[in-house]
Amino acid sequence: MNNREIAAVFERVADLLEFQNANPFRVRAYRGGARRVGDSPESLAAIVADRGAEALTELDGVGKDLAGKIAELVETGRLEMLEELLAEVPAGVLDVMRVPGLGPKKAAALHKELGVATLEELRAACESNRVRDLKGFGAKTEEKILAGLAIAASAQERTRWANAEPTVLAVLEHLGTLDEVLRIDPAGSYRRGRETVGDLDFLVDIGEELDAALVEKVMDRFGAFESVDSVVARGETKMTVRMASGLQADLRVVPTESYGAALQYFTGSKDHNVEVRGRAKQRGLRINEWGVFKTDDDGEQGERVAGDSEEDVYAALDLPRFPPELREARREFELAEAGPLPELVTLDDLRGDLHMHTTATDGKATLEEMATAARERGLEYIAITDHSKRVSMAGGLDAERLRKQWAMIDELRATLPKGFSVLKGIECDILEKGGMDLPDDVLAEADWVVASLHYGQQQPRAQIMKRLVGALENPWVSIVAHPTGRLINKRESYDVAVDELIAAAAENGKLLELNANPARLDLDDVHCAAAKTKGVPIVISSDAHSVEGLAVLRHGVQQARRAGLTASDVANTRTWKQLGKLVRRGE
């Protein structure tokens, strides 16, 4: 088990304990354990394997009891305590807890008072107006629950890309150790970089012949993967398993001559492949997972013309090999007909990161530590953008504290090597009534002002738009961060007209953020593409709250690639001097 999977188990334990009204200190202990495990840069499984369970107690905040449970998970893939808790709680309760606005305590109240134990029962209770009568709920809560049921249902079906990644990488490593495996790749929505994936697909090339013994050996190896909970189906060349996390994974074993065709076919998307097959038919060809074939006058399959590589498959149709992120049947075929495909932005193109937090508010690293970590990652500049005072729960900065931080940045600048800059910034809240959380004379002193909306997210569209557009009209604001406020699988966006927001950014010479946190990825790929058409540059920012958090920039780049963005469409691929010319400040 990887760290993320272990942390998820402890979160589930904490939820179930809280549902049962267990000792609050016990609940907090497991939540804290989940946080420490998830934040650990070291593989706990590797520690157990190399040095034993006792070595886990050397980690900050990991005691003997927690270490024992981590070792149990690593060595068996299960936790007896969790299984016991699951046996005591109705199976559907965990789904109820995923509904935005609910949690273990409210789920327990719903179960105790109304007998709610499934999403269907919850919907029925809301639609019959029984929930609003419970203490601590009310009509508005009932409405929010109904709105959030769709999110809870989809959360059961799709997993965030970043949450699936550790499993994918582990499977690739697990199968890749076999000498018989010549090539192995993930396919499906994971390979296309969608922000969520429904299941996992893996393709394996075992050589020129589909030798039955070799296929069996690969499938046996797949079934022995540590996170496999059960084998759903097993055929001649395909095997389906369910992971302990609930993810379904399909393995397909193909010969070398078909590998490229299978990789193209199973990468998708469905709509992209429909267009590809249609173009093949127009050329008297048939394309499927086994290759590209000529067809006779009766439409019967004949000579193979391609299949070993994706490049050859697409070339047979006079098409370029599309980057997987573009294969959504949006504009990729139109782009191909217009000339060479655009060079999509890469992580190496980014020169700066313009949204991050320090211990001055809710970050886990100091100003100096964030600067050092960013420089070690090859960045040329960063903006320190701690929260403004409205975000009191994060210890937001008032004008006095902010100016003290900026004085510290001035002192730090004097010690920095040439070629690296730390900018004086702030993530300034947009107030519920409109206007900025700090006065203009303070914002004018900043190098970079990020405007964001954290409160009043349930306001009607007219008020939300008044606040956002007002921020873009402020002469000292540089950018609007996480513009729709969504949290993938947890919270829908607030009621925002993104097209109007993009237009306002263009009119006022301001930028919009693609927040790279994999729980946000906000703006989404469709909205980023819309911004590109209006000439509004996007800034890919980490919103990091720790040095490790800087690593999420790659998720933002992946989302930008799905939008078809090139380096020129992303503002922070420029030097700071060049970027500054894109933003109208002080006008």
The whole-angstrom separation of Cα 210 and Cα 202 is 16
- The pLDDT value recorded for residue 59 is 81
* Arithmetic mean of pLDDT, 370-388: 97
CB atoms < 10 A from the CB of 455, how many? 13
pLDDT-based confidence at residue 575 (cuts at 50, 70, 90): very high
pLDDT-based confidence at residue 36 (cuts at 50, 70, 90): confident
Residue 537 reports pLDDT greater than 80: yes
pLDDT-based confidence at residue 381 (cuts at 50, 70, 90): very high
* Arithmetic mean of pLDDT, 566-580: 97
The DSSP call for residue 135 is T
Lowest-confidence pick of 4-8, 132-136, 334-338: 4-8
pLDDT-based confidence at residue 154 (cuts at 50, 70, 90): low
- The pLDDT value recorded for residue 60 is 73
Lowest-confidence pick of 3-17, 92-106, 131-145, 345-359: 92-106
- The pLDDT value recorded for residue 155 is 53
pLDDT-based confidence at residue 577 (cuts at 50, 70, 90): very high
- The pLDDT value recorded for residue 151 is 65
Beta strands in 32-76 (DSSP E): none
- What is the share, in percent, of the chain residues with pLDDT greater than 90? 71
Q: Which residue has the higher pLDDT, 90 or 217?
A: 217
* Arithmetic mean of pLDDT, 176-192: 96
The whole-angstrom separation of Cα 567 and Cα 238 is 40
- The pLDDT value recorded for residue 41 is 63
Closest CA to 100 of 143, 57, 160: 143
Burial 509-526 (b: 16+ CB within 10 A, else e): ebbbbbbbbbbbbbbbbe
The whole-angstrom separation of Cα 285 and Cα 332 is 21
Lowest-confidence pick of 243-247, 273-277, 344-348, 578-582: 243-247
Residue 4 reports pLDDT greater than 80: no
**Cα-flanking dihedrals φ and ψ of residue 333, to 5°?**
-75, -35
Helix (H) or strand (E) holding 451, with range, is strand 448-452
Beta strands in 278-355 (DSSP E): 285-288, 291-295, 301-306, 352-353
Q: How many helices (H) and strands (E) does the chain have?
A: 24, 17
- The pLDDT value recorded for residue 322 is 98
Residue 255 reports pLDDT greater than 60: yes
Q: Which residue has the higher pLDDT, 77 or 332?
A: 332
Pull the structure tokens for residue 300: 């019967």
Q: What does the angle CA 450 – CA 451 – CA 455 come to, to the nearest 5 degrees?
A: 135
Residue 101 reports pLDDT greater than 80: no
pLDDT-based confidence at residue 42 (cuts at 50, 70, 90): confident
Please give the full DSSP string across 373-401, using - where no structure is assigned.
Answer: HHHHTT-SEEEE--BBTT-GGGT-B-HHH
Residue 124 reports pLDDT greater than 80: yes
Q: What's the pTM?
A: 0.79
- Is there a contact between 553 and 347 (Cβ–Cβ < 8 Å)? yes
The whole-angstrom separation of Cα 537 and Cα 204 is 40
* Arithmetic mean of pLDDT, 532-538: 95
CB atoms < 10 A from the CB of 468, how many? 26
- The pLDDT value recorded for residue 156 is 61
Q: Which residue has the higher pLDDT, 314 or 301?
A: 314
Domains and CATH numbers, the chain: 3-157 (1.10.150.110), 159-254 (3.30.460.10), 261-338 (3.30.210.10), 347-580 (3.20.20.140)
| Beta-carbon contacts of residue 171 (< 8 Å; ≥ 6 apart) | 186, 200, 202, 222, 225, 249
| Beta-carbon contacts of residue 392 (< 8 Å; ≥ 6 apart) | none
Residue 239 reports pLDDT greater than 90: yes
CB atoms < 10 A from the CB of 321, how many? 15
- What is the share, in percent, of the chain residues with pLDDT greater than 70? 98
pLDDT tens digits, 157-171: 789 999 999 999 999
The whole-angstrom separation of Cα 175 and Cα 79 is 26
pLDDT-based confidence at residue 147 (cuts at 50, 70, 90): confident
pLDDT tens digits, 455-507: 999 899 999 999 999 999 999 999 999 999 999 988 888 899 999 999 999 99
| Amino acid, res. 322 | F
pLDDT tens digits, 510-524: 999 999 999 999 999
- The pLDDT value recorded for residue 550 is 97
The whole-angstrom separation of Cα 178 and Cα 519 is 35
- The pLDDT value recorded for residue 5 is 81
Closest CA to 480 of 456, 458, 457, 498: 498
What's the mean per-residue pLDDT of the chain?
A: 92
